[in-house]
Amino acid sequence: MPDAPPHPEPFTARTSPAELEDLRARLRATRWPDAPEDAGWSLGTDLAHHRELVAHWADGFDWPAQEAALARFPRYRVRLGGLGIHYAHVRADAKAGPVLPLILSHGWPDSFWRYSKVIPLLTDPGAHGADPADAFDVVVPDMPGYGYSDAPTGPPLDSIAVAGLWAELMGVLGYDRFGAAGGDIGSHVSRYLALDHPDRIVAVHRTDAGVPFFAGDRAELSPEERAWFDNAAAWGAAEGAYAAMHRTKPQTAAFGLMDSPAGLAAWIVEKMRAWSDSDGHVERSFTKDEILTNVTLYWLTGTIGSSMRMYGANAAIPPAQLARRVEVPSGFSLFPGDIVRPPRAWLERTANVVHVTEPPRGGHFAAFEEPELYAEELRAFFRPYRPPALD
């Protein structure tokens, strides 16, 4: 008999009191490292800041309230490629008329959480001071091995494979053509959606151009492109130790990060600070409760190891794939606090660029840091590609 077609099932996360008590007990029993006097954040996560954050996690953070807030979105799981995939699916306000379906892809270290602030602004813009005609049907999946999606039991999936799953997911949901957007690993996934499914992607929006790859003679590059390559290499040397660990020995790190919630939070919050438009003060971009919601999702789902393993899979993508040019109409919003922003010349070399902006605020997690700005970026970029232009 042929396999039954994928059938989405409603999903609600429910954390048991025992799980939360175990988490609090571990937090209260944290064995703290020493730190050089006045080290601050120069060697990684600041000790004094982290003690304060962990104390709040143990005795002030209300996870059930955060879990309930995330439950306001209709959420589902569906079996694709042998994996249970979790996603939020929020349809546009019924009064919006024809709408554009949009799939949003997150990165590391986060999950569907990245888009939790922006979903209402995209699905019901009229309620937030924008044009109701700019409404989207929004789909936000957790990548395999992240959040509430299953982790592969064998080799981790790369961004190409995940793009294939997302194309299948949108078909299951009845969307033949749609827009794609994302940042970080989600930018890679959105790129491969446009590369491998150009008949279905009306346009693709990204907040970065990924790690630069060029197989030709660097003399062919513009001065701005060569400077970007040099800056990216310098950033990797100064800030890329985490990625080297993820690519090469993620399982070693996973033992400690799975066992110590304080260690897990240190691994994640240092990146939330460094990659956001926070000017070195992470609480300028995220409240303590927002930071801890992201970290608690990793803790309760046990996905830090599986999320890191995707780096190795992506590092093994053949150079020929990395060199492909996106011909689907492409837009980029380059937020000022993000990691090593690409020059326009590189964007045009690698994609059919129709739209580039430089918003005034926001960083790597722009959809969460500046949801209003991010929502307006998507509305403006996708406006020419809305129905009835799909017909």
- Concerning whether 298 is annotated as a catalytic residue, the answer is no
Instruction: Supply the DSSP symbol for 98.
Output: S
Instruction: Give CA torsion, residues 188, 192, 193, 197, to 10 deg.
Output: 170
Which residue is catalytic, options 146, 364, 374, 385?
364
User: In three state form, how does the secondary structure of 239-307 look?
Assistant: HCHHHHHHHHCHHHHHHHHHHCHHHHHHHHHHHHHHHCCCCCCHHHCCCHHHHHHHHHHHHHHCCHHHH
Which residue is catalytic, options 110, 184, 208, 338?
184
> Is 257:263 a contact under the CB 8 Å cutoff?
yes
Which residues, including other chains, have CB under 8 Å from residue 42's CB and lie 6 or more apart?
none
| Six token digits for residue 339 | 């990691």
- Concerning whether 146 is annotated as a catalytic residue, the answer is no
Strand partners of residue 105 = 182
Instruction: Supply the DSSP symbol for 363.
Output: B
Beta strands in 70-211 (DSSP E): 75-80, 83-90, 100-105, 136-141, 178-182, 201-206
Which residue is associated with the tokens 């955060």?
A: 66
Which residues, including other chains, have CB under 8 Å from residue 23's CB and lie 6 or more apart?
57, 261, 296, 299, 300
> Is 113:47 a contact under the CB 8 Å cutoff?
no
Instruction: Give CA torsion, residues 230, 184, 239, 220, to 10 deg.
Output: -10
SS3 content of the chain, % helix, strand, coil (to 5): 50, 15, 35
Q: Which of 377, 307, 376, 260 is nearest to 143 (CA)?
A: 307
- Concerning whether 311 is annotated as a catalytic residue, the answer is yes
H or E stretch covering 355 = strand 351-357
Which residue is catalytic, options 76, 175, 242, 311?
311
CA-angle at 382, arms to 378 and 383, nearest 5°? 110
Give the residue numbers marked as catalytic. 184, 311, 364
